[in-house]
Amino acid sequence: MHTSPPLIIIFLLLLSGIMCAYLAAWSSLRHRQPGALEFGLLTWATAIYSLGYAVEISRNNLEDVLWAIRVEYLGLAFLPPLILIFTFRFVRNKPLNRAVVAGLLTVSFITLGLVWTVNFHSLYYISPRIESGNYFPGLVFERGPWYKVHLAYLLLAGSLSPILLFWHARRAEGRRRSQMIVLGLGALIPIVGGYLFAAGKIPYGIDVGPFALSLSVLFFWAALFRYGLFEIVPAARELALDTVGEALIVVDYTGRVIDLNRAAIDLPGLAGLKIGQMFPRDGVLSGFVFHSLQNSGGETEFSTEDQNGNLRSYRARSYLLKDTLGRQGGCAVLITDISETTRLIRRLDEQASTDELTGLLNRRSIMQIGSRLIEQLSSNGGWLGIVLMDLDHFKEINDSYGHQAGDTVLRCVGECLPKALRDEDVIGRWGGDEFVVFLPGADRPAAWQVAERLRAQVAACEPLKAVPTIRVSASFGVYAACVDGSVGMDDLMRAADQALYRAKNNGRNQSAV
């Protein structure tokens, strides 16, 4: 069972949304032509719907899906009135009365408000949840009362539009009659798709609404501006491919480049790549591209230096393409620059694993690493030494000189301790003024020697030269065991803590085993 939608569906939705957005912008520039303004608003709504649905099906947890739906409904909620407004504008040759428009939009604003506050009521979705379907997880819910209102509104508007267009086409003549027929055919597409979806006839539970509406938009556009059809479609394709941030490369089954956009040419190592050339076999992407031609597509991430010597990270996804006879024709490779995302994730990981004050690992990270060491050493019964350290009289430093002085002491100790350790040793701040060190391969005598070196480093620490009376020392609890699977992290830490207690009880500033 699949757990995520095919990326080609998401790509088509994005391409559909970009196409609709372009047509909407194009129509806005021609707003003085009859129907252009209404057509532009309808295509903007369709674009938002398509892009929102692409985000929705790419998410697999409820909160993310609901947020995607909120964005999606910025377009979907207004589709019923915009369909009617556009239809009446065309058949009547004049805009609808403002009061009628306000009435039509009121229902949509109520729908939008209920969707954006869906977490606080059950008027729209009842018990929304994510369930695995036949193809990928999706939102499952019982229909609330206003959901039924919106659905009825959508189906009514969608049904009324082709009826009005075909009815008026009977009395129209010439070019106008042809326009109305084309518009009517376009209006039929989403309503047929909607009824099929409602009846459960669409496989895998995919919402065909965005695709159907995108096709309808092309019909509507052809009827209004058909004299420019063959100029705008190639331009829309070029704009859609060249304005997206992702690089697109299409190769045939031999590896010959048959299409690419501007972003692909800007990729490191692909400068000068042209349509008709063989895809280079010695580049960072060559292995992935030619492997994709022999398999069913895939995804990979890679890093390479750009022309300025900066390291860039990319995610590449490939989709197999077939010819009209169903044979493999090549593959399309979509490449996304994820450098900023990678840097952000790395920075967040560092912040999540590092103690901010000392720069050492924090307790959570040191516990995770210690558990992994125990697991690794358990396979061959290797030794693991543990040193637990506590600063002597640290509370008195805070009380006498203030917490800022105490923080300075901790920072100084955090800088000094690693100097006494090997590269494979692991040190972290356990909490407060306590530190812990894991020593792979160290038995008790070796661990005790490390503790003594650490004690000397602490004694040499000079955190506050302005206050020479401050002397820093520490007590150390040492323990080591041959890890054989019967000893866990809690057992080792408990033994080291008992040794630390003995060191402090015997006068401090010493190491106890």
Q: Based on the domain organization, do 365 and 506 belong to the same domain?
A: yes
Q: Based on the domain organization, do 494 and 371 belong to the same domain?
A: yes
Give me the helices (H) in 402-482, please. Answer: 403-416, 444-459
Q: Based on the domain organization, do 235 and 250 belong to the same domain?
A: no
Q: Based on the domain organization, do 20 and 138 belong to the same domain?
A: yes
Name the token pair of 254. Answer: 């031999």
Q: The domain spanning residue 366 has which CATH number?
A: 3.30.70.270
Q: Based on the domain organization, do 237 and 254 belong to the same domain?
A: no
Q: Based on the domain organization, do 364 and 278 belong to the same domain?
A: no
Mean residue pLDDT across the chain: 80
Specify whether the CB–CB gap between 492 and 476 falls below 8 A. no
pLDDT at residue 236 greater than cutoff 50 = no
Q: Based on the domain organization, do 373 and 497 belong to the same domain?
A: yes
Residue 476 lies in a domain: yes
Residue 12 lies in a domain: yes
Name the DSSP letter for residue 328: E
Per-residue pLDDT band for 109 (boundaries 50, 70, 90) equals: very high
Q: Based on the domain organization, do 406 and 485 belong to the same domain?
A: yes
Q: Which of 313, 342, 371 is the last residue of a domain?
A: 342
At residue 241, the pLDDT reads 59
Per-residue pLDDT band for 345 (boundaries 50, 70, 90) equals: low
pLDDT at residue 379 greater than cutoff 90 = no
Residue with the two structure tokens 């369709």: 46
At residue 5, the pLDDT reads 59
Residue 2 lies in a domain: no
Three-class secondary structure of residue 34 per DSSP: coil
pLDDT (tens digit per residue) in 170-215: 876 555 677 778 888 888 888 787 777 666 666 655 677 777 777 7
Residue 349 lies in a domain: no
- 375-385: string of b/e by CB count within 10 Å (b at 16+)? eebbeeebbbb
Q: The domain spanning residue 256 has which CATH number?
A: 3.30.450.20
Q: Which of 241, 261, 293 is the last residue of a domain?
A: 241
Name the DSSP letter for residue 463: S
pLDDT (tens digit per residue) in 277-321: 888 877 667 778 887 777 766 788 878 777 777 788 888 888 887
Evaluate if pTM is beyond 0.75. no
Q: Which of 241, 273, 308 is the last residue of a domain?
A: 241
The domain in which residue 106 lies consists of 7-241
Q: Tell me which range, 21-35, 110-124, 401-415, is most confidently predicted by mean pLDDT.
A: 110-124
| Residues ≥6 apart with Cβ < 8 Å to 341 | 313
pLDDT at residue 112 greater than cutoff 90 = yes
Domain tally, the chain: 3
pLDDT at residue 168 greater than cutoff 80 = yes
pLDDT at residue 261 greater than cutoff 90 = no
Q: What's the rounded mean pLDDT across residues 426-435?
A: 90
Q: The domain spanning residue 120 has which CATH number?
A: 1.20.1070
Q: Based on the domain organization, do 43 and 88 belong to the same domain?
A: yes
Q: Based on the domain organization, do 193 and 65 belong to the same domain?
A: yes
At residue 498, the pLDDT reads 94
Q: Based on the domain organization, do 297 and 182 belong to the same domain?
A: no
At residue 364, the pLDDT reads 85
Q: What's the rounded mean pLDDT across residues 167-171?
A: 82
